[in-house]
């Protein structure tokens, strides 16, 4: 068989020419960052990142890593769970400064910062029970604190009045405590857990770790969680939960305190409460790490990520979009991404290029840690 070498060579060269042309015109699909608020962008250092249930290409963990690489304080909002690394509430129950909050508020650390009646104090994490979702802290101060008493009678009844008190949405509402009223909806919690109760009192981000109070302002439980509305919407086919929240019962908290070797004051359960105005003197804002006063109410952003991925020669994004919005006003701060298909891009390359564009907008005077990387094909899908 006679082989036409000249034509064979053309068959090799022609695809190479096409590749060159495609690479030349693919600049329209190069990620770019557009700043909507140039005079304000550099003041943001805290980011809330929502993680959806459906993330087929496992993109969100990669975005989380990139945001942390930027140097942002990232609050990871997990589906069906609490915000990790976010602010919570707590309350002092001994004059020596022993304080209770939720385990997920101080997850993965042994140092915290608390604010009691507006004063800032460092605190140590003494003990954590992640199954119960409760943590014991010791506030470091030479001054005595006013303890919040536990109710001596903790027989829970459906329809019983209950009050939440804490510091929800500090960045939006401020640092004054908020009080909400509701009822005991069930004497058991999620999955009929006997250590919990279900309540109808409103619970917002930041309420976690705050006390559940009776009408006298005494502790009958600890706020731990609320149902995730979007999860329920997806699973129920269109129903949003309303005020379905949960707390830990006193008996479980007291067992935890005793197991940590802390003794309650002899008068704690029988002392006379002075009502909700007095209870606020024992409440605490709780943040992970060593946090400054100015950082407590610093402006924050919400990061949204959307993408459409496909397989051709390897996995790539046809559309990739990142946007940052002010957490308080919902004002668009910055948007970036790839908005046209580039068949010679890869998922990793697009994410890296996008953050290469994003970083100097927030940190103009720092060396850019991101660099353009070569396309690396992903493993072929099974």
Angle (CA) 18 23 27, round 5°: 145
Give the pLDDT band (50/70/90) at residue 39: confident
> Look-up: residue for tokens 């909507």?
36
Domain end (from 259, 291, 323): 291
Q: Could you report the per-residue pLDDT of 210-251, keeping only the tens digit for each?
A: 999 999 999 999 998 765 444 434 444 444 445 678 899 999
Q: What is the token pair recorded at 167?
A: 């510091």
**C-beta atoms surrounding 118 within 10 Å:** 9
Question: Does residue 356 fall inside a structural domain?
Answer: yes
Alpha helices by DSSP H, 201-249: 229-236
CA torsion sign, 183 to 188 to 190 to 195?
A: positive
Tally of domains within the chain: 2
Give the C-alpha separation, 177 to 379, whole Å.
52
Across 52-61, b (16+ Cβ under 10 Å) vs e yields eeeeeeebbe
Question: Does residue 373 fall inside a structural domain?
Answer: no
pLDDT at position 96 is 93
pLDDT at position 236 is 41
151 and 284 co-located in one domain:
yes
Q: At a CB cut-off of 8 Å and minimum separation 6, what does 225 contact? A: 81, 82, 133, 190, 203, 208, 245, 246
State mean pLDDT over 113-128.
94
Instruction: Kindly report which listed range (75-84, 140-149, 337-346) carries the lowest average pLDDT score.
Output: 75-84
Q: Could you report the per-residue pLDDT of 173-184, keeping only the tens digit for each?
A: 888 999 999 999
Instruction: Kindly report which listed range (10-14, 79-83, 217-221, 318-322) carries the lowest average pLDDT score.
Output: 10-14
175 and 251 co-located in one domain:
yes
202 and 148 co-located in one domain:
yes
312 and 285 co-located in one domain:
no
Domain assignment of residue 210, given as a range: 85-291
> Which residue, among 359, 340, 337, 331, has the nearest Cα to 349 in the 3D structure?
337
Q: What is the token pair recorded at 63?
A: 């975005």
Residue 57's CATH number: 3.30.160.670
Question: Does residue 269 fall inside a structural domain?
Answer: yes
* Statement: residue 43 has pLDDT above 70: yes
374 burial level (CB within 10 Å; 0-12, 13-18, 19+)? exposed
108 and 190 co-located in one domain:
yes
201 and 107 co-located in one domain:
yes
The separation between CA 123 and the C-alpha centre of its own chain, rounded to angstroms, equals 21
44 burial level (CB within 10 Å; 0-12, 13-18, 19+)? buried
70 and 208 co-located in one domain:
no
> Look-up: residue for tokens 């770790």?
209
Which position has the higher pLDDT, 65 or 205?
65
Question: Does residue 12 fall inside a structural domain?
Answer: no
Give the C-alpha separation, 133 to 370, whole Å.
37
Give the C-alpha separation, 121 to 284, whole Å.
10
The helix/strand/coil state of 42 is: helix
> Look-up: residue for tokens 């705050």?
210
Domain end (from 271, 291, 311): 291
pLDDT at position 268 is 62
270 and 353 co-located in one domain:
no
Question: Does residue 312 fall inside a structural domain?
Answer: yes
55 and 111 co-located in one domain:
no
Q: What is the token pair recorded at 254?
A: 């007291």
Give the C-alpha separation, 365 to 367, whole Å.
7
Residue 166's CATH number: 2.40.10.120
153 and 113 co-located in one domain:
yes
Give the C-alpha separation, 374 to 345, whole Å.
9
């Amino acid at each position: 068989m006679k082989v036409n070498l000249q034509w064979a060579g053309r068959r090799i060269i022609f695809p190479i020419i096409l590749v060159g042309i495609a690479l030349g015109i693919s600049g329209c699909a190069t990620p770019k960052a557009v700043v909507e608020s140039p005079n304000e962008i550099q003041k943001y250092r805290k980011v809330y990142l929502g993680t959806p249930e459906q993330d087929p290409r496992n993109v969100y963990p990669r975005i989380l890593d990139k945001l942390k690489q930027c140097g942002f304080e990232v609050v990871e909002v997990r589906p069906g769970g609490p915000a990790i690394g976010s602010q919570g509430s707590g309350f002092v129950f001994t004059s020596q400064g022993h304080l209770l909050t939720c385990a997920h508020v101080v997850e993965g650390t042994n140092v915290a910062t608390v604010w009691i009646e507006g004063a800032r104090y460092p605190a140590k994490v003494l003990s954590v029970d992640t199954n119960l979702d409760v943590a014991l802290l010791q506030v470091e101060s030479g001054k005595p604190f006013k303890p919040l008493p536990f109710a001596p009678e903790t027989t829970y009844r459906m329809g019983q009045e209950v009050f939440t008190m804490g510091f929800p949405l500090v960045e939006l509402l401020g640092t004054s405590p908020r009080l909400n009223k509701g009822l005991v909806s069930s004497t058991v919690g999620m999955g009929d857990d006997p250590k919990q109760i279900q309540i109808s009192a409103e619970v917002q981000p930041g309420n976690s770790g705050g006390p559940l109070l009776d009408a006298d302002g005494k502790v009958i439980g600890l706020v731990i969680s609320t149902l995730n509305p979007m999860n329920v919407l997806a699973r129920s086919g269109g129903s949003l939960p309303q005020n379905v929240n949960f707390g830990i019962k006193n008996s479980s908290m007291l067992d935890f305190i005793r197991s940590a070797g802390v003794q309650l004051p002899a008068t704690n359960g029988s002392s006379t409460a002075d009502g909700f105005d007095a209870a606020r003197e024992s409440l605490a804002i709780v943040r992970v790490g060593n946090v400054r006063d100015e950082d407590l109410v610093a402006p924050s952003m919400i990061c949204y990520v959307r993408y459409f991925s496909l397989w051709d020669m390897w996995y790539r994004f046809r559309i990739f979009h990142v946007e940052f919005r002010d957490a308080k006003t919902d004002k668009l701060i910055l948007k970036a991404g790839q908005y046209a298909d580039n068949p010679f891009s890869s998922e990793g390359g697009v994410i890296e290029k996008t953050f290469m564009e994003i970083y100097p907008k927030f940190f103009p005077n720092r060396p850019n840690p991101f660099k353009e990387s070569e396309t690396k094909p992903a493993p072929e899908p099974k």
